[in-house]
Each structure stands twice: as C-alpha cells, then as structure tokens.
Structure 1
Amino acid sequence: MNKRLLWLLFSILFMAGCSVLSSTDPEFSRENYDSWYDKGEYQKALNHVNERLETYPEDALLWNEKGYILISMEQYNEALQPLEKAIELNAELDSAYNNKALAYNETGEYEQAIVAAQKAIDLSEEEPEQFINMGNALSFLERDEKALEYFNKALAIDANAPYAQYGKGVSLYFLGKYEEGIPYFENYLHSYPNDIDALWYLVYSYDTLGDYMETIPYLNQIIDNQKENPINTVDYKGLMLTYAGELEEATTIYDGIIEQYPNEAIGYYGKGVLQIQQGQTDNGLQSLEQAVALDNSLKETAYNDPLLSSVYNDELFKRIVE
C-alpha cells in the first residue's frame, strides 16, 4: 500500500477560506450554502448559484462559490474555470486562490497548488486553511520538512484544527518521527474517530516502534468499520499478536480465518508460523505447505520471514520454498 496516497482523500473536506468582501447579490447567503453542504445537496446549491449568476454575472463571490461546489462534487477540473473567473473579477479574493490550491491538489498539479496557496497566504494569514493546502501540496511532493512548517503555522492559528493535526502527523511519519506523530493522529481522531487512514497511520507507527499490542485497538476499530472483506486486516492483527507473544489469542485469530475462509492461504500461513513459534514444527510446516499450495507467491514470503528462522535449515521447509 502506498501510504502517502491516503493523504489525498482529505483535501476535499477543507472549508473555503472566509472573505470579508460582500456579494452584490442580495440573495447570497453563506448560511444557505452551508446548510446544503451539510446535507450533501450539492446539485441544489449548484442550481441556485447558476440561477443567481444569470442575474449577477459580475459577482466574484458567486463564481467562487460555484468553484467550491464543484470541488465538493469532486469535479476538480471543472472547478478551476469559475475560480479563475472569480479572481478575474476580484484579484483580492483570498478564498478563490485557496480553493484553486485545493482543486490543484486533487488533480495532482501540486506546483500549481503551491502558487495558489501562496497567493492566498499573501492575501490573508488569519485562517489555517491556506496553510493546510500548502502543506498538502508539499506533502505530495515529498517535501516533508517544508510541509511540516506550514502545518505548524496552521496550528499556531488554530491549535485544534483537525486537518492540520492530521497533516503534521503525516509529515512526522514520513520524516521517521513516528513517536512524535502519534499524538497528532490521536488528536485528529477526536474529531473523526472512525477515519480509516488515520487509524492505519497509528497502526504502522506503533508497528514500526515495536509496540505491537498498541496496534490492536486501532486494528479492531478498522475491522469494525471496513465495508469490504477485512481478512487482510484480521491477518495483520494476528501478526501483531504473534510478535507480541500473545500466541493463544493469535491462534484463535487464525483458526477463525481458516473456518471462515477455508480456501484462503493467509489463514494457513499464519497458523503455520504460530505452530512453529510454539515448537510444533511438523504441524507448522504442514500448514505452510498447505498455504503455499493455495498461493505460490507465499514461498518468497516464507523464505524471508524472520519468524520462520528456526526452520530455515529444515529439509521440508527448503522443499516448500524452493
């Protein structure tokens, strides 16, 4: 899994930077739009703004709103034209630049996102969003030290900004500062407790630190919230329990996988590792042989698995992985 790609999912959730500029449209109402956003009624919001633009085609805030609605509808390329129109009508509209940065992050045009975010920052340093969008772009470009600076700036404005917390955690993770990053992911989860990506970052962090039992609550939460088949996550849980020396609980995990998925190699492989760890070498090698028969790619996994080092010289093991 490319863990950096998990970060992409969050940029569509940022609210546009606020502007003190007023609309020429007397019916323009942020409260109306916010209500539609909360309900996910984006098409209704888009229809309304299009109707108002027929009467007020020179209203920069209406064009900016249209761009943001299209971003909310995940139509990122389409959002750029109305945002450009908003800027053409009012070059001081900081939220339009911020929304451009958001759209460019989603289309993978990170250098353009940096330019737009910097313009938003130049116009206003009072909101955290433009610093978060800048941090996003830099994070995608793997410029993690620099990204961290901008997430810190966002947190200096709002210490509880969830996406700044998340962004800082991501930057610290890719800088190898796993222990430092953990509190930021945990703080983010106070706002979004079931976010799968943040939960995985915590799992990976604790796994890398060797705190295997610390991964278990997060893995349980992921399993509870996964809509698709959670077998790989359950296997990860079994592996963490094995590393932690909780072999009885791990055995229960793999017996459950085998019972539920009798034709999946992963259960037999995990059980084989456990049996060998428990000194049941013959049974363990038989389970490994069954796993490889179901999935030939597990030969390489077994050959390089440190948990199987005690049987590297066993003749049956050599035949299994040859």
Structure 2
Amino acid sequence: MSQSEDSRILYSQGHVLRKLGHFEGAIEKYDRVLETQPDDHKAWSSRGYALENAGKHEDAVKSFDRALSLSPKYAPAWQGRGIALAKLSNYEEALENFNRALKLQPDDYRGWMNHGKALLSLCRYKDSISSFERVLERKSDSYKAWYNIAVAQSCLNKYADALASLDNCLLIKPSCHYAWNYRGMVLAKLSQFEEALTSFDRSLRLKSNNPNAWYGRACCFALQDRVDLAVENLQQAIAFSPYLCKVMANSDANFNRIRSDFRFRALLDSQAG
C-alpha cells in the first residue's frame, strides 16, 4: 500500500471516529496523517475540529492556525477557529473569524448560525436576528434558527414576537424539549401561567431529568404566591442541578414574592452544605 493510500485510509478513519464521538481516536488518526503529510491543511483543520469536540479549545485554535498558514482561504478552518474561540468566550475574535469564513462561503447556513450565536453572546440582539434570518433564507426548516431568534427577541423584551418564533420552532420540531421550556419562560413573562405550566410539562414529558423545566415551574408558582408548589418544584430542579439552581434562586427576581417565606429559605439553606 502506498503512503498516499495509507493517509487516505487514516483520514477516513479519523472522520468516522469523530462522527462516532471518539475524538481522541480521531486526533490520533489525523496526527498519523500529518506525520507523513505535514502540509495537509485539511488534516490540520480536521484535527482542529476533533480537538474542539474533545474540549481542547486552545489546542484546536493552534491546529486551525496551522491549517490557515498553509491555506489562508480555507473557509472550514476559519469557521472551526471561530467555534473554538467562542467556546473560550472570545466572542469578538470569533465573530471576525466567522466573517472571514462567510466571505469565502456566503451560502453556508451553519456559518450564519455561528455568526448569529456570537452576536447573541455579545448582546447584539438585533444583529443576531439578521444572521439567523440569513440561516432561514438558506435552510427554511432550521428550528434552531427560530429558537435563537426567540432568545434574541426575548432579550429585547419582545415577548409576543418571541412566542411566535418559538411556535415556528416547535412546528418544525415538536420534540425540542428546550424550546418548550423557553416557551414556558416567555409565557410566564406574559403572566400566562397556566399555558406556561403546560409548556413546562411538555418539556418534562420529553426529558424528565430537566432542571430548567422544574425551575420554570417553580418560577410560575412563585409569581402566583403558591409557595408550597414553588418550593416543591424548585426542590426537583435542585435535585438535578444543585449548585446552579441554588445560585439562580438566590438572586432570581421571580422568587421575590416568596423570598422571605420560611419554606423557601429552608430549602435554600438546606442546600448550603
């Protein structure tokens, strides 16, 4: 078997392993390709994606840098570099990378999705909506684009618009548990508590170990001064995510109406240790 044939096999094996979630194994395969073909920009880029999948974001950036030093117009490497930087919370530089990728591949809906998510993280909500709309122009059945539009609209206090976007999301993917959960939170903002609870229940039917839905139900009951039910549901949320739910409940304005109640305080105090 020739060296090039061997490299093709290793490269293919790396892709399969990455798709199966075996990221360390994929990295090993790409490393073996690069031992004999150190100037293969696609191998460096694929290695970067595997490293990013494995949570090694700084190493991923370095791998994408090697790919781009070899092929500066390779859009997937700019895209991957942006994803890794976003995971490192470096959203401004990530956005610059997504812009570079989109100049090279303007019809890449995934690129517009990443672009919109970076803008969302930078609190540039109106701009993010424009990017997600670009996704929908290229992929009309993207439920994730509608979901992200709803998040941006909610951040702009446009709750009715957010609700309509979530309904579009759920029309495309009724099994999206986190969209049902977010729909519940938006309805609670609109004081439509019964419908909000129905949405949280739909979310829980899809994913029972879902702390966000239990937490949302607790917020709904707290906003109605239904202390026993608020505490009962918050206890369920804390059971699935003890630290985060405790921190959130301690400062969440949704619980202000019951914050001084001994039952609420007892629950949070019992989680202190």
TM-score by length of 2: 0.73
Are 2:240 and 1:257 equivalent residues in the alignment?
A: no
- Matching residue of 2:88: 107
- Matching residue of 2:124: 143
How far, CA to CA, are the matches of 2:30 and 2:265 in structure 1? 60
- Matching residue of 1:320: none
Contact 1:194 1:225 in 2 (8 A): no
- Matching residue of 1:301: none
Contact 1:199 1:219 in 2 (8 A): yes
Q: Deviations over 1:205-224 (max 9, x none)?
A: 11112222221233224445
Contact 1:219 1:237 in 2 (8 A): no
Are 2:200 and 1:219 equivalent residues in the alignment?
A: yes
Q: Deviations over 1:58-117 (max 9, x none)?
A: 100000001101111121111100001001111110011011111111111111011101
How far, CA to CA, are the matches of 1:292 and 1:239 in structure 2? 10
Computed over aligned residues only, the root mean square deviation of the Cα atoms, in angstroms, reads 3.4
- Matching residue of 2:109: 128
Residue from 31, 49, 58 that aligns with 2:39: 58
Specify which structure has the bigger relative contact order, considering alpha-carbon pairs within 8 angstroms and separated by 6 or more residues.
Answer: 1
How far, CA to CA, are the matches of 2:65 and 2:196 in structure 1? 46
How far, CA to CA, are the matches of 2:264 and 2:74 in structure 1? 61
How far, CA to CA, are the matches of 2:268 and 2:14 in structure 1? 55
How far, CA to CA, are the matches of 1:123 and 1:296 in structure 2? 52
Q: Which amino acid aligns with 1:171?
A: A
More helix by share: 2
Number of residue pairs the alignment of both structures matches: 238
Q: Which amino acid aligns with 1:56?
A: Q
How far, CA to CA, are the matches of 2:214 and 2:21 in structure 1? 32
Are 2:49 and 1:74 equivalent residues in the alignment?
A: no
- Shift of the 183–61 alpha-carbon distance from structure 1 to 2, 3 Å rule, reads farther
Q: Which amino acid aligns with 1:199?
A: W
- Matching residue of 2:240: none
Are 2:142 and 1:170 equivalent residues in the alignment?
A: no
- Matching residue of 2:8: 26
Give the superposition deviation at 1:227: 5.6
Contact 1:135 1:146 in 2 (8 A): yes
Q: What does residue range 145-164 of structure 1 map to in structure 2 within 5 Å?
A: 145-164=126-145
TM-score by length of 1: 0.63
- Shift of the 227–295 alpha-carbon distance from structure 1 to 2, 3 Å rule, reads closer
How far, CA to CA, are the matches of 1:233 and 1:162 in structure 2? 22
Q: Deviations over 1:101-159 (max 9, x none)?
A: 11111111111011101100111112111111111111111111111111111111111
- Structure label with greater radius of gyration: 1
Using the TM superposition, name which of 149-158 and 173-182 deviates more: 173-182
Are 2:211 and 1:236 equivalent residues in the alignment?
A: no
How far, CA to CA, are the matches of 2:101 and 2:197 in structure 1? 42
Give the superposition deviation at 1:255: 11
Contact 2:91 2:122 in 1 (8 A): yes
Give the superposition deviation at 1:235: 2.8
Are 2:273 and 1:291 equivalent residues in the alignment?
A: no
Q: What does residue range 88-107 of structure 1 map to in structure 2 within 5 Å?
A: 88-107=69-88
- Shift of the 114–229 alpha-carbon distance from structure 1 to 2, 3 Å rule, reads closer
How far, CA to CA, are the matches of 1:44 and 1:139 in structure 2? 33
How far, CA to CA, are the matches of 2:90 and 2:32 in structure 1? 31
How far, CA to CA, are the matches of 1:229 and 1:145 in structure 2? 26
How far, CA to CA, are the matches of 2:142 and 2:53 in structure 1? 20
- Shift of the 29–52 alpha-carbon distance from structure 1 to 2, 3 Å rule, reads closer
Query: Helix, strand or coil: the match of 1:225?
Result: coil
Give the superposition deviation at 1:39: 2.4
Structure 1 unaligned spans of 5+: 1-23, 244-249, 262-287, 298-322
